[in-house]
Amino acid sequence: MYTNAEILANRKVWTDALRSGKYIQGRSRLRYGDAFDCLGVLCDTGVVPGQWEKVYDDIYMWTCDSGASYTGALSRLHLAAVGLSYEAQDRLMIMNDGLFNYHGGISRPSTFAQIADYIDTLPIHRDTPLTPAS
């Protein structure tokens, strides 16, 4: 279990990386070539130890002790490390990628800096269940 101080320190590492200008912002995948979505940046910071594995052409999968992902949803361990709920994770994916609506339009994706500002406002969430349905 992470302390509040550890969670805030982990968030700072993540938000600093989002604001750094080091990352090219991508969509729909944690990492595609040299582009990352906001959750892929979290993986790349090493807050939760793991590694990138190339699975196809430029598609990479993040693997760590608590599982593997390439589509955006992170493990419970990642969410606990930065005090995020599943709902907050979903909101971050929508902010990163933009949101399709029923009228055929899409909302404009947020920049990494805007996403970092949003993360800074989130309360610390604890007790993330093993699955969203639990």
Give the list of residues 6+ apart from residue 62 with CB closer than 8 angstroms, or none. Answer: 30, 31, 40, 43, 50, 51, 52, 53, 68, 69, 70
Instruction: Give me the residue spans of the domains in the chain.
Output: 4-119
Residue 132 has pLDDT above 50, yes or no: no
- Model confidence pLDDT, tens digit, residues 86-131: 999 999 999 999 876 666 666 789 999 999 999 999 999 987 544 4
pTM for this predicted structure: 0.88
Nearest residue to 30 via CA among 61, 67, 68:
61
